[in-house]
């Protein structure tokens, strides 16, 4: 019996002009956004690869100079884009994707497209993730708000139920029939996405396809939850118009209101300093130290070295005391950075956790979080790369200061290293976190989305049982 | 709660109401209705709006629960055997509503399948539609192009395809032109001759006399009189109807 309901719902829907036009519109936007995202991702990858190669070449061919000068010369690190970033660009346009690694400083990321975007671009930038998170649910609402309420108004529901068909069979058939019609739109998009994924540069991750499969499952769960919710409302609403208005309100709250409220609330509860305040605090602490982190003193440093080597004058040291002091200063700076950036990242994490919890009010928050996570464009993976880049910077500084310390003497300002040293510094080989790491970080979002899915299905089941014929 | 009774076996009425009542809040929409419809019988329920005719049909369809009494279909209590009782029923409302994007054949196929007749081939479906009076050429057209009369014929076809024991008709000829009404009556007659029991709610005294074997006049939820159509003329029926409706004009 369900087979007949599914077939009828599918046929009825695909013959409906409204479905065709809405599907063409949403499908076109989805395909265009996928294509645009893919082209952008590929372009960014090529630009980053070229820039990375150029930066490396500049590093290796910088000529002979003092290693500490080379440390100031620095290198650029570019955050590699994961293959799935063409689906969801996440926070990358706001956080930036490249950072200059130099001595004494932990610089902010550069290349933030959002900074250069016009106001219209900031509002209107369309990604596949946005289409999937906002327009597909809207399409589901438009297709299902009248599933029961419309049939009740038209009078077909009485005739249907008079045949002996059960409410639950009817609901399941309608859900599957609508899913079948939606599949006409989503399966080609998914295939296009899969093809793009296969053709895309995999990026620094072992299993882009596994990430893609999980991402597809996340969106599938989201759509099923919306479908069940819409059917539940349609079953109980007095009229199709009431069902539509209610579901549109749900859509607005889910997609527009709740995510903004969640962000504002998390910022209010866990405030972060402005970029200016943050920079000023770091600068002040770098200049004076803190109660627990003292700024290194060159005299003390020298005295320690003299004691260690059993000599009385720095000129007699077998190493360069200035290089050792510079490394001490570097490590002092690192502690200041760790203290300030650590607190900042922790605040971001608390904000993120609160936002994930607030997905209980709107599943779009959970889907957005998971989507960015699986695409490798969320804050946590930005932090993962930033940490890797900072670790690389510290190793680089240690190597430069170490070379200066070991291969020159105090007061010898003529020491210069060459290509051999520069080439001995390995390029930054970033390995993105595993799928397990991503999902482990997003357990809360997974749980909330699962709860939404189960809740919506149970609600639909309960509401359909209590529905009235007329 | 009524015990499950054997399905129709000759003596069991196809449709039976036993002290059937329905209250909506303080309003009694149906008051202790007792009636039994045997195979091959067409029982017409007459009465003004609000008399309880549609409530009676809704109770037989299980769309509302009785406040008291039982509605039985082939001996099955509708309240406890919802699906089994509906399997034995066919229902044609005042306005047969169909799916506009589907053809007459597709609509019939769908409703028949839901009614348990899922294996009818296209040829048989067309035959049934033609038997119900629909032009065979129209059968493949989308029903968005159908007139009300054509939709009613598809409704009849659904009832034929279902091979139901009993037929519930709710103002089925309302809004039909005389020709279509006559065709409809002829179809009901054919079903009656096959042993189908029919309960028809109608305002149409002429059609009730012409099509029915018995007539029940309802007023304010009560069955106030029952008549055999073989024993009265059209004028008698009209007179009796008006007498009962006038005499019981005050709301209880």
In chain A, where the domains are located:
2-465
The region of weakest confidence among A147-151, A235-239, A464-468, B131-135 is A464-468
- A466/B contact by beta carbon, under 8 A: no
Asked, for residue B103, whether it belongs to a domain, the answer is yes
On the 0-12 / 13-18 / 19+ scale of CB atoms within 10 A, B157 is: buried
Q: How confident is the model at residue A391 (pLDDT cuts 50, 70, 90)?
A: very high
* B102 contacts A12? CB cut-off 8 A: yes
Residues 6+ apart with CB under 8 A from A322: A404, A410, A411
Buried/exposed A260-294: b ≥16 CB within 10 Å, e otherwise: ebbeeebeeebeeeeeeebeeebeebbeeeeeebe
pLDDT tens for residues A312-337?
A: 888 888 888 988 998 999 899 999 99
Helix (H, G, I), strand (E, B), or coil: what is residue A405? helix
pLDDT value, residue A410: 81
Q: How confident is the model at residue A258 (pLDDT cuts 50, 70, 90)?
A: very high
The region of weakest confidence among A247-261, A346-360, B234-248 is B234-248
Q: Give kind and range of the element (H or E) at residue A108.
A: strand A105-110
pLDDT value, residue B1: 34
Tokens in use for B132?
């119900």
pLDDT value, residue A367: 96
Q: Which of A164, A168, A170, A465 to mutate to test the interface with B (most CBs of B within 10 A)?
A: A164
Angle between helical axes of A240-252 and A136-144 (0-180°, round to 10) = 170
Kindly report the CA angle at A430 between A427 and A436, in degrees rounded to 5? 165
pLDDT above 80 (res B163): yes
**Angstrom distance (rounded) from CA A337 to CA A318:** 31
Q: Which of A18, A159, A468 to mutate to test the interface with B (most CBs of B within 10 A)?
A: A159
* A166 contacts B102? CB cut-off 8 A: no
Q: How confident is the model at residue A468 (pLDDT cuts 50, 70, 90)?
A: confident
* A469 contacts B86? CB cut-off 8 A: no
Domain of residue B144 covers 99-163
Chain A nearest C-alpha distance from B222 (Å)? 23
Chain B nearest C-alpha distance from A152 (Å)? 11
- A12/B contact by beta carbon, under 8 A: yes
**Angstrom distance (rounded) from CA A290 to CA A288:** 7
- A168/B contact by beta carbon, under 8 A: no
Cross-sheet strand order for the sheet of B42-46:
B89-92, B166-170, B197-202, B42-46, B214-219, B222-228
* A1 contacts B113? CB cut-off 8 A: yes
Of residues B198, B139, B137, B125, the one with CA closest to residue B168: B198
pLDDT value, residue B148: 86
* A159 contacts B89? CB cut-off 8 A: no
**Angstrom distance (rounded) from CA A170 to CA A461:** 11
* A163 contacts B101? CB cut-off 8 A: no
* pLDDT: which is higher, A92 or A60: A60
- How remote is the C-alpha of B237 from its chain's centroid? 20
- Provide the domain count of chain B: 1
**Angstrom distance (rounded) from CA B4 to CA A470:** 28
Q: How confident is the model at residue B252 (pLDDT cuts 50, 70, 90)?
A: very low
pLDDT above 90 (res B230): no
pLDDT tens for residues A205-236?
A: 657 788 889 999 999 999 999 999 999 999 99
Closest in B91, B106, B110 to A162, CB measured: B91
pLDDT (mean) for A195-209 = 72
What is the pTM (predicted TM-score) of this model? 0.86
Report yes or no: A86 and A34 within 8 Å, Cβ to Cβ: yes
User: Per-residue DSSP letters for A288-352?
Assistant: H--SSSPPP-HHHHHHHHHHHHT-SSGGG-SS-HHHHHHHHHHHHHHHHHHHHHHHHHHHHHHHH
Q: How confident is the model at residue B6 (pLDDT cuts 50, 70, 90)?
A: very low
Q: Which of B114, B120, B168 to mutate to test the interface with A (most CBs of A within 10 A)?
A: B114
pLDDT value, residue B139: 92
Asked, for residue B55, whether it belongs to a domain, the answer is no
* Residues of B with Cβ-Cβ distance to A16 under 8 angstroms: 101
* B90 contacts A160? CB cut-off 8 A: no
């Amino acid at each position: 019996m369900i087979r007949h309901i599914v077939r009828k719902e599918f046929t009825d829907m695909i013959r409906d002009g409204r479905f065709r036009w809405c599907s063409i519109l949403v499908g076109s936007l989805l395909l265009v956004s996928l294509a645009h995202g893919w082209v952008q991702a590929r372009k960014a990858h090529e630009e980053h690869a070229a820039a990375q190669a150029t930066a490396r070449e500049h590093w290796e061919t910088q000529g002979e100079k003092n290693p500490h000068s080379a440390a100031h010369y620095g290198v650029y690190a570019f955050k590699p884009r994961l293959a799935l970033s063409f689906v969801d660009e996440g926070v990358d346009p706001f956080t930036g994707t490249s950072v200059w690694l130099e001595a004494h400083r932990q610089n902010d990321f550069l290349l933030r497209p959002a900074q250069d975007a016009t106001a219209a671009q900031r509002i209107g930038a369309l990604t596949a993730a946005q289409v999937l998170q906002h327009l597909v649910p809207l399409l589901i609402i438009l297709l299902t708000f009248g599933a029961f309420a419309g049939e009740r108004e038209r009078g077909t529901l009485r005739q249907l139920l008079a045949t002996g068909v059960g409410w639950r069979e009817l609901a399941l058939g309608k859900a599957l029939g609508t899913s079948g019609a939606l599949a006409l739109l989503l399966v080609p998009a998914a295939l296009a996405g899969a093809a793009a994924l296969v053709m895309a540069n995999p990026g620094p991750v072992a299993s882009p396809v596994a990430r893609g499969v999980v991402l597809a499952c996340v969106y599938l769960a989201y759509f099923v939850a919306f479908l069940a919710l819409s059917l539940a409302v349609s079953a109980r609403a007095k009229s199709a118009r009431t069902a539509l208005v209610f579901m549109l309100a749900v859509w607005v709250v889910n997609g527009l209101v709740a995510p903004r409220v969640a962000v504002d609330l998390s910022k209010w509860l866990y405030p972060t300093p402005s970029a200016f305040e943050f920079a000023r605090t770091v600068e002040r602490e770098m200049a004076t130290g803190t109660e627990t982190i003292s700024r290194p003193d060159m005299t003390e440093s020298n005295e320690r070295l003299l004691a260690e080597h059993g000599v009385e004058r720095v000129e007699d040291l077998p190493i360069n005391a200035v290089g050792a002091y510079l490394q001490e200063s570097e490590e002092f700076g690192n502690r200041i950075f760790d203290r300030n950036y650590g607190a900042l990242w922790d605040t971001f994490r608390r904000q993120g956790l609160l936002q994930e919890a607030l997905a209980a009010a709107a599943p779009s928050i959970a889907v957005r979080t998971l989507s960015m996570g699986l695409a490798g464009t969320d804050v946590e993976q930005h932090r993962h790369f930033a940490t890797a880049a900072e670790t690389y910077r510290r190793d680089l500084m240690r190597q430069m200061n170490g070379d200066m310390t070991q291969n020159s003497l105090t007061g010898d300002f003529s020491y210069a290293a060459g290509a051999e040293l520069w080439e001995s510094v390995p390029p930054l080989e970033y390995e993105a976190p595993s799928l397990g790491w991503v999902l482990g970080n997003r357990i809360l979002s997974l749980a909330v989305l699962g709860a939404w899915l189960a809740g919506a299905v149970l609600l639909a089941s309960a509401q359909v049982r209590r529905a009235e014929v007329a | 709660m009524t015990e499950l009774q054997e399905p129709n076996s000759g003596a069991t009425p196809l449709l039976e109401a036993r002290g059937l009542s329905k209250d909506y809040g303080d309003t009694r929409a149906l008051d202790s209705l007792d009636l039994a419809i045997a195979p091959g019988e067409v029982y017409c329920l007459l009465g003004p709006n609000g008399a309880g005719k549609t409530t009676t049909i809704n109770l037989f369809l299980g769309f509302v629960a009785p406040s008291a009494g039982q509605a039985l279909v082939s001996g099955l209590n509708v309240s406890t055997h919802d699906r089994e009782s509906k399997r034995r029923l066919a229902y044609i409302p005042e306005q047969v509503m169909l799916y506009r994007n589907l053809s007459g054949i597709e609509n019939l196929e769908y409703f028949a399948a839901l009614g348990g007749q899922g294996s009818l081939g296209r040829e048989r479906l067309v035959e049934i539609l033609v038997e119900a009076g629909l032009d065979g050429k129209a059968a493949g057209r989308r029903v968005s192009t159908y007139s009300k009369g054509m939709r009613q014929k598809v409704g009849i076809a659904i009832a034929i395809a279902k091979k139901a024991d009993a037929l519930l008709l709710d103002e089925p000829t309302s809004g039909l032109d005389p020709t279509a009404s006559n065709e409809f009556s002829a179809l009901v007659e054919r079903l009656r001759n096959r042993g189908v029991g029919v309960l028809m709610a109608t305002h149409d005294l002429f059609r009730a006399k012409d099509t029915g074997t018995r007539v029940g006049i309802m007023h304010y939820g009560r069955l106030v009189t029952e008549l055999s159509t073989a024993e009265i003329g059209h004028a008698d029926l009209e007179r009796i109807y008006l007498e009962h409706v006038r005499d019981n004009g005050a709301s209880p």
